[in-house]
Structure 1
Amino acid sequence: MSTQIPKVGAIAVVLRNGEFLMAQRGKDPGRGLWGFPGGHVEFGETAQAAAVRELREETTVEAAALEYLTCVDVVGQGHHYLIAAVLCAYQSGEPTAMDDAADARWMSLKELKSGKYPLSPDVLRVAELAVERANQRG
């Protein structure tokens, strides 16, 4: 009997001047959807370190992990991910789509809510939580 277990992922939630760094998925699952840059957590790597690494690999943007925001379950046909959402502080760079990202750009919460961009599940919930946490941090 084979045992299937969820894969662990991490996303980098970067907020700069009221805008979030978003990446459009270039591969399945979720091809074409917009979400926070991220990917798999490697063995021996913290989710915070993975979020920063994946951010760099997908967008060339540098940031520092600040804290965990929440976790998101992504369950679909043939896949199950538990994703740690990591609030990150922008350091440098402008988004360039790399690795498995089809596009990358800064977007305001208003743009995310507009319906113009197809979003991955929980993007709005995580974005609103990030704004709340950033305001608390000052």
Structure 2
Amino acid sequence: MTARGNVWLGAAGLVINSNGEWLVVKKTYGGLKGFWSLPAGFVEGGETADQAAVREVKEETGIETELVGMIGFRTGVLNGAISDNMGIFLLKPSNEGQMIQRDAKEIAAAAWQSPFELKDGADVSL
């Protein structure tokens, strides 16, 4: 893992298909382990936050996407010492026919799900 210092910047992608379903993942590690969440990760040197969101979606799900726009920004402080920040970007699939190909090392499951189903799920962290 890259040394991030005490200021972190992450990027998440909300990918919505033509059926209105969201692309969600269950990570195999960390605080989101076992919970449906948006594909996300840290911004790397040499890329913008929106590029990181597109990259993370591709790495975690195999789905290629295009940027629609920024929809939010989450910020907080962890353990009183680490500034934890994440840009949330709206993305659309480049091609609706793509099959999900999850990264089995980091992602336990990936799926298209209705936001209405997700809102009532006990295993959801969105």
Name the TM-score, length of structure 1 as normaliser.
Answer: 0.76
CA distance in 2 between partners of 1:111 and 1:45 (Å): 34
> Offset at 1:73?
2.6
Residue 104 (str. 1) matches residue 105 (str. 2):
no
Q: Is the 8 A contact 2:68 2:92 kept in 1?
A: yes
- For residue 56 of structure 2, what is the amino acid of its counterpart? E
Q: Distance in 1 between matches of 2:76 and 2:25?
A: 17
Measured on the aligned residues, the alpha-carbon RMSD in Å equals 1.9
Other-structure match for 2:63: 61
Question: Structure 1 residue 80: deviation in Å?
Answer: 4.9
The separation in 2 between residues aligned to 1:75 and 1:25, in whole angstroms, is 22
Quickly say closer, same or farther: Cα 1:28–1:69, change in 2 above 3 A.
same
CA contact (8 A) 2:6 2:82 kept: no
Q: Return the alpha-carbon distance in structure 2 between the equivalents of residues 27 and 83 of structure 1.
A: 18
Asked if 1:52 is matched to 2:58, the reply is: no
| Alignment match, 1:136 | none
- Greater CA deviation, 88-97 or 51-60? 88-97
- Residues matched between the structures, number: 117
Matches within 5 A, 1:10-25: 10-16=11-17, 17-25=19-27
Counterpart amino acid of residue 94 in structure 2: Q
Matched residue type, 1:114:
D
1:1-138 residue pairs with structure 2 within 5 A? 5-16=6-17, 17-73=19-75, 75-76=77-78, 80-92=83-95, 93-98=98-103, 99-116=105-122, 118-120=123-125, 123=126
Structure 2 gap ranges (5+): none
Q: Which has the higher helix share?
A: 1
How high is the TM-score relative to the length of structure 2?
Answer: 0.82
